[in-house]
Amino acid sequence: MRLLLITAMIAMSGFAARAEEAVTLKEAPGRDIVEGYCGACHSLDYPRINAGFLNREGWESEVDKMIKAYGAPIGDADAKTIVDYLTANYGSGG
């Protein structure tokens, strides 16, 4: 059915694309890598609404899920950059 609808399907509406531009992540080392990989499949409000309660292990588990369960093509080095960034900027601090 994906073939059937391929022409009708786009990743998101123009409406959401414009609104989404307002969502930014904190300026810190690794931000471009995070925005590039994470933003490919979902808007950047996802890490923001999950801010403040995950420690490094928690963010590792999330990034690992994106790679293993959802097939995100992220290499080890970039995955570490992403975990470092999320832990430092959106982590629990614990």
Which residues sit at the interface with another protein, rule CB under 8 A? Answer: 1-2, 4-5, 8-13, 15-16, 19-20, 23, 40-43, 45-54, 58, 61-62, 69-73, 90
> For residues 81, 84, 89 and 92, what is the CA-based torsion angle, rounded to 10 degrees?
150
Min dist. Cβ of residue 32 to another protein (A): 19
Q: Which is nearer to another protein, 23 or 28 (CB)?
A: 23
Residue whose pair of structure tokens reads 């963010």 in the numeric block: 59
Cβ-Cβ contacts under 8 Å for 51 (sequence gap 6 or more)? 90
Min dist. Cβ of residue 65 to another protein (A): 9
